[in-house]
Amino acid sequence: MDRALVIVGSKRRPKLDAVAEALSSISEALFPTGSYEVVGEEAESGVAHTPLSREEIMRGAKNRAEALALRASPYPGLRFFVGLEGGLDVCSESGKRWVFLENWAYVTDGRRASFGQSGAVLLPDPLVRRVVDEGAELAAAVDEFAGGRGIRDAQGAWGVLTGNRITRREAFRVAVINAFAPFYNNAAYSAGRMAAKD
């Protein structure tokens, strides 16, 4: 039986759990003839501690996955490299600044690649001021805002902002499912539409 290796560019539990949960819901389509193993390895994002644009968040996710692919040792079988990145998308509409928390995933098998996004939730003004205007790291700002410690490794900012209806793990889970879509749903995607590996 073929065994696939899915390498994630982080050892943080919410990220690894998100990938494992995402794969459990798509494994029959993604790995129809075998099983898989999820492995976490640290990989640098190459972006700011709190990215402040959609492009920077996407670049951070891609950098993590590509770093894993570059240093991977030979492995006899199918493997995927997954980069996950969260951050803020600062945008303007009708002259008003809007800041949204987003999570992105980037998946590559070394030949093909795809992005997936979680959706977005509006950041409250006090957090916008601390992170965007004052340059605080989002994780520290959320701890201050919520009066807790280590929130990033628990429900995350998503949990704080949605009253735990969507947690950080859940947001990453959705992003991972979306990123893998071209790999497990070949009927809906042609090879020409998937991003080629740079």
54 domain-assigned = yes
Distance CA 105, CA 85 (A): 7
For 27, the token pair is 């494994």
User: Could you tell me the residue range of the domain that residue 97 belongs to?
Assistant: 2-118+167-196
pTM here is 0.90
pLDDT of residue 181: 96
pLDDT digits (tens, 9 = 90+) for 9-33: 999 999 999 999 999 999 999 988 7
146 domain-assigned = no
Distance CA 15, CA 8 (A): 8
pLDDT of residue 190: 73
Q: Kindly report the CATH number assigned to the domain that includes residue 179.
A: 3.90.950.10
Number of structural domains, the chain?
A: 1
Beta strands 96-108 and 195-196, pairing class: unpaired
What are residue 51's phi and psi, to 5 degrees?
-60, 145
pLDDT digits (tens, 9 = 90+) for 66-111: 999 998 766 666 689 999 999 999 999 999 999 999 999 999 998 8
pLDDT of residue 148: 84
Distance CA 44, CA 66 (A): 10
pLDDT of residue 76: 63
140 domain-assigned = no
153 domain-assigned = no
126 domain-assigned = no
pLDDT digits (tens, 9 = 90+) for 99-135: 999 999 999 998 899 999 999 999 999 999 999 999 9
pLDDT digits (tens, 9 = 90+) for 31-62: 887 789 999 999 999 999 999 999 999 999 99
136 domain-assigned = no
Distance CA 120, CA 123 (A): 9
Asked whether residue 195 carries a pLDDT value surpassing 80, the answer given is no
157 domain-assigned = no
pLDDT digits (tens, 9 = 90+) for 119-177: 999 999 999 999 999 999 999 999 999 888 888 778 889 999 999 999 999 999 999 99
CA atoms within 13 A on the CB side of 50: 23
91 domain-assigned = yes
What are residue 19's phi and psi, to 5 degrees?
-65, -45
Query: Beta-carbon neighbour count of residue 161 at 10 Å?
Result: 20
Asked whether residue 191 carries a pLDDT value surpassing 60, the answer given is no
